[in-house]
């Protein structure tokens, strides 16, 4: 007999796709018995987290987006990560831990000389390291 359940397909197994799949699976488990639950398929071209999501190393800082359009989303993401780590044993399973972070901002970056090579570095009088980009 053919399986007539609905199929939900999520494209991309980065942080957004995996998160979507996780919370979708939780909701489906609450609402449907196993034999009636829609199938959930997560598609990725190589492996989970192989692109931008995998390059961040799971780094989150709660206040680095303060004052931006994504401030509330960033804070929600940080809090949700901590909640999931507590619920799922994140410290043991994936090395979750809270750490102090530091952010330094440069208010004024000196203008680069016009003929600098693409990846040259120099120190300004203020001891700032600046990289030229042509």
Predicted local distance difference test score (pLDDT) of residue 55: 61
Shortest CA distance to 80 belongs to which of 39, 3, 7, 26? 26
pLDDT confidence of residue 73: 82
**Residue from 51, 103, 104 nearest 74 by CA:** 103
Cα within 13 Å of Cα(68), Cβ side? 10
Give residue 68's pLDDT. 85
pLDDT at 132: 35
Residues 46, 60: Cα–Cα separation, whole Å: 24
- The one-digit pLDDT tens for each residue of the chain (134 residues) are 677 899 999 998 887 888 899 999 999 999 999 999 999 999 988 877 777 666 655 556 777 778 888 888 888 888 888 898 999 998 999 888 887 766 666 666 556 555 554 444 444 444 433 333 33
Q: What pTM was estimated for this model as a whole?
A: 0.57
The pLDDT assigned to 34 comes to 93
Distance CA 23, CA 12 (A): 15
């Amino acid at each position: 007999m053919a399986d007539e359940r609905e199929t939900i397909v999520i494209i991309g197994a980065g942080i957004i796709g995996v998160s979507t799949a996780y919370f979708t699976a939780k909701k489906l488990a609450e609402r449907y018995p196993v034999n009636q639950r829609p199938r959930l398929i997560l598609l990725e071209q190589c492996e989970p987290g192989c692109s931008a999501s995998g390059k961040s190393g799971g780094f989150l800082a709660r206040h680095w987006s303060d004052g931006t359009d994504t401030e509330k989303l960033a804070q929600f993401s940080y809090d949700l990560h901590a909640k999931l780590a507590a619920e799922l044993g994140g410290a043991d399973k994936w090395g979750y831990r809270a750490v102090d972070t530091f952010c330094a901002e440069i208010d004024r970056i000196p203008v680069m000389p016009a003929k600098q090579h693409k990846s040259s570095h120099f120190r300004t009088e203020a001891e700032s390291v600046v990289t030229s980009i042509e």
